[in-house]
Structure 1
């Protein structure tokens, strides 16, 4: 299933620290892990435990795996779908402002005047203008734009 790191496991007077194990099953406050591939346990100890131990969720380092969020494909698709919705809304909002920016750009002398007339920041105005290929005034607050910008 998922490989996890266990910080501490105590059985009687023996203690094992920082070993890798395979997550088999999750419980409410603990998890069953497979120690058959772990190098921390001897062959006799593995046989004694039948290659399985139950540890507290608090001692497992990978919190996402024991919380049940180890299926990363589902997580990625839901995040991507959310981002697509947000970017679609933002594009529609920019399109709404593009017409007003084009109108204001033809009437104003400076970029700051365009931004004031629209009620948005100059960076927003520049971004929308570049996206919709709107020609903006070359002067910014009475001074020529620096060519490096």
Structure 2
């Protein structure tokens, strides 16, 4: 498995600091470490602990090792920033079209007509209307909209 460094382990009145051990199992707030190769523990202590100890995740220095076996479950900083940039662009785009959607909604009888006048898709029109509380026509291509939508 992965070798990690533990800052602190306390058992009774004994304290071990800054020792290396193998990561065996991860839990929500703790991890099981194999101390059989660790030099910090004596042979007798290793036998007493059965070569395994349970340590708090806070006591482990390598946070990525206890967060997941691989880094795929942790999104990269670049990915997070690009998602935020896309969200901001989408927000700005919806603001830009809010006035057009409001004007088209007042002149149209159906949602499809509003979408054609604005030149955008129906889901986009609905998103803009929801965000800026614009009342859309209650008819959709000749059929009544379901009241719950």
Distance in 2 (alpha carbons) for counterparts of 1:40 and 1:89: 54
Please point out which of 10, 22, 28 is paired with 2:3: 22
Deviations 1:91-119 (A, max 9, x none): 10001111111111111111111112222
In the alignment, what sits opposite 2:138?
A: 138
Closer, same or farther: CA 126–35 of 1 in aligned 2, 3 Å: closer
| 3-state SS of paired residue (1:34) | strand
Q: Is the contact made by 2:4 and 2:22 (CA closer than 8 Å) also made in structure 1?
A: no
Structure 1 residue 34 corresponds to structure 2 residue 21: yes
Q: CA RMSD in A?
A: 3.5
Distance in 1 (alpha carbons) for counterparts of 2:81 and 2:34: 39
In the alignment, what sits opposite 1:102?
A: 102
In the alignment, what sits opposite 1:113?
A: 113
Closer, same or farther: CA 131–35 of 1 in aligned 2, 3 Å: closer
Distance in 1 (alpha carbons) for counterparts of 2:136 and 2:81: 34
In the alignment, what sits opposite 2:11?
A: none
Task: Give runs of aligned pairs for residues 70-81 of structure 1, distance below 5 A.
Answer: 79-81=79-81
Alpha-carbon distance, 1:124 to partner: 1.2
Q: Is the contact made by 2:111 and 2:136 (CA closer than 8 Å) also made in structure 1?
A: yes
Structure 1 residue 63 corresponds to structure 2 residue 50: no
Task: Tell me the number of residue pairs that the alignment of Structure 1 and Structure 2 aligns.
Answer: 99
Distance in 1 (alpha carbons) for counterparts of 2:70 and 2:146: 50
Alpha-carbon distance, 1:35 to partner: 4.1
| 3-state SS of paired residue (2:85) | helix
